[in-house]
Structure 1
Amino acid sequence: MTVLDHRALGRATLARQLLLDRADMPVRDAVAQLCGMQAQEPQEPFTGLWSRLRAFDPAALSGLLTGRSVVRTHLMRRTVHLVTADDIVAWRARHDAMLRQRVLGTYRRELEGVDLDELAAAGRAVMADGEPRSMAELVRALADRWPAPAPRALGEMLIAALVPVAQTPPRGLWRSRGGVRNVLLSSWLGRQVDAPAPDGADPVGQALVRRYLAAFGPAASADLRAWCGLAGLPAAVAALREELVTFRDERGRELFDLPDAPRPDPDTPAPVRFLPAFDNAILGYHDRGRIIDDAHRGLSVAGERVVLVDGRVAATWRVDAATVVVTPLGRLSSADRNAVGAEGRELASFLSDGESHRVRVATSPD
Structure 2
Amino acid sequence: MTAPLSMRALGRATLARQHLLARTGAPVLDTVAHLGGLQAQEPQEPFVGLWSRLERFAPAELSGLLEERRVVRMHLMRRTVHLMTAQDAHSWRPRHHALLRQKILGVYKNDLSGVDLDQLTARAQQLMDDETPRSLGDVGREMARFWPGTSPRALGEAVVAALVPMVQIPPRGVWRSTGGALYRPLDAWIGEEVQAGADQHDHDLIRRYLGAFGPASSADLRAWCGLAGLPASLATLREELVELRDERGRRLLDLPGAPLPDPETPAPVRFLPSFDNAVLGYHERSRIIDDEYRPLSVTGARFVLVDGRACATWTTGKSGGQVVVHPLRPFTRAENTEIADEAERLSTFLATA
TM-score by length of structure 2 reads: 0.96
Which amino acid is the alignment partner of residue 230 of structure 2? Answer: L
Q: Deviations over 1:118-174 (max 9, x none)?
A: 111110000001111001111121212111221221111101111001101111000
Q: Which residue of 2 aligns with 1:359?
A: none
Q: Deviations over 1:289-337 (max 9, x none)?
A: 0000000001110101110000000100000133211011011011100
Q: Which residue of 1 aligns with 2:226?
A: 229
- Out of 229, 252, 256, the position equivalent to 1:255 is 252
Q: Deviations over 1:188-233 (max 9, x none)?
A: 11139979xxxxxx96111110000001000000000000100101
Give distance in 2, aligned partners of 1:162 and 1:325.
Answer: 41
Q: Which residue of 1 aligns with 2:26?
A: 25
Q: Which residue of 1 aligns with 2:295?
A: 298
C-alpha contact 2:87 2:195 (8 A) present in aligned 1: no
Q: Which residue of 2 aligns with 1:273?
A: 270
Give distance in 1, aligned partners of 2:182 and 2:94.
Answer: 22
Give distance in 2, aligned partners of 1:22 and 1:193.
Answer: 28
Q: Which residue of 2 aligns with 1:108?
A: 109
Structure 1 unaligned segments of length 5 or more: list them: 196-201, 355-366
Q: Which residue of 1 aligns with 2:64?
A: 63
C-alpha contact 1:8 1:265 (8 A) present in aligned 2: yes
Deviates more, 1:90-99 or 1:318-327: 318-327
C-alpha contact 1:278 1:304 (8 A) present in aligned 2: yes
Q: Deviations over 1:33-60 (max 9, x none)?
A: 1000000000000000000001101100
Could you tell me how far 1:349 is from its partner in structure 2?
Answer: 0.6
Which amino acid is the alignment partner of residue 83 of structure 1? Answer: M
- Out of 216, 240, 243, the position equivalent to 1:243 is 240
Give distance in 2, aligned partners of 1:298 and 1:313.
Answer: 12
Q: Deviations over 1:336-363 (max 9, x none)?
A: 0000001011001100129xxxxxxxxx
Which amino acid is the alignment partner of residue 46 of structure 1? Answer: F
Q: Which residue of 2 aligns with 1:199?
A: none
C-alpha contact 1:93 1:193 (8 A) present in aligned 2: no
Q: Deviations over 1:89-126 (max 9, x none)?
A: 11110000000011111111111121111111110000
C-alpha contact 2:18 2:213 (8 A) present in aligned 1: yes
Give distance in 1, aligned partners of 2:19 and 2:101.
Answer: 33
User: Are residue 313 (structure 1) and residue 310 (structure 2) matched?
Assistant: yes
C-alpha contact 1:314 1:330 (8 A) present in aligned 2: yes
Which amino acid is the alignment partner of residue 26 of structure 2? Answer: M
Q: Which residue of 1 aligns with 2:332?
A: 333
C-alpha contact 2:166 2:183 (8 A) present in aligned 1: yes
Give distance in 2, aligned partners of 1:323 and 1:60.
Answer: 23
Give distance in 2, aligned partners of 1:193 and 1:351.
Answer: 32
C-alpha contact 1:309 1:336 (8 A) present in aligned 2: yes
Which amino acid is the alignment partner of residue 325 of structure 1? Answer: V
Give distance in 2, aligned partners of 1:92 and 1:266.
Answer: 36
Give the percent of matched residue pairs that are identical in Structure 1 and Structure 2: 61
Give distance in 2, aligned partners of 1:115 and 1:207.
Answer: 34
Give distance in 2, aligned partners of 1:167 and 1:130.
Answer: 13
Give distance in 2, aligned partners of 1:67 and 1:192.
Answer: 13
Give distance in 2, aligned partners of 1:167 and 1:291.
Answer: 31
C-alpha contact 1:90 1:193 (8 A) present in aligned 2: no
Q: Which residue of 2 aligns with 1:358?
A: none
Q: Which residue of 2 aligns with 1:16?
A: 17
Q: Secondary structure at the match of 2:231?
A: helix
TM-score by length of structure 1 reads: 0.93
Q: Secondary structure at the match of 2:101?
A: helix
Which amino acid is the alignment partner of residue 35 of structure 2? Answer: L
C-alpha contact 1:24 1:54 (8 A) present in aligned 2: yes
Q: Which residue of 2 aligns with 1:35?
A: 36
Q: Which residue of 2 aligns with 1:363?
A: none
Give distance in 1, aligned partners of 2:68 and 2:352.
Answer: 23
Give distance in 1, aligned partners of 2:143 and 2:87.
Answer: 31
Could you tell me how far 1:262 is from its partner in structure 2?
Answer: 0.7
Q: Which residue of 1 aligns with 2:48?
A: 47
Which amino acid is the alignment partner of residue 323 of structure 1? Answer: Q
Give distance in 1, aligned partners of 2:116 and 2:246.
Answer: 45
Alignment of 1:148-167 (within 5 A): 148-167=149-168
Q: Secondary structure at the match of 1:317?
A: strand
**1:320–1:326 CA distance, 2 compared to 1 (3 A):** same
**1:96–1:192 CA distance, 2 compared to 1 (3 A):** farther
How many residues get paired?
348
C-alpha contact 2:143 2:156 (8 A) present in aligned 1: no
Q: Which residue of 2 aligns with 1:346?
A: 345
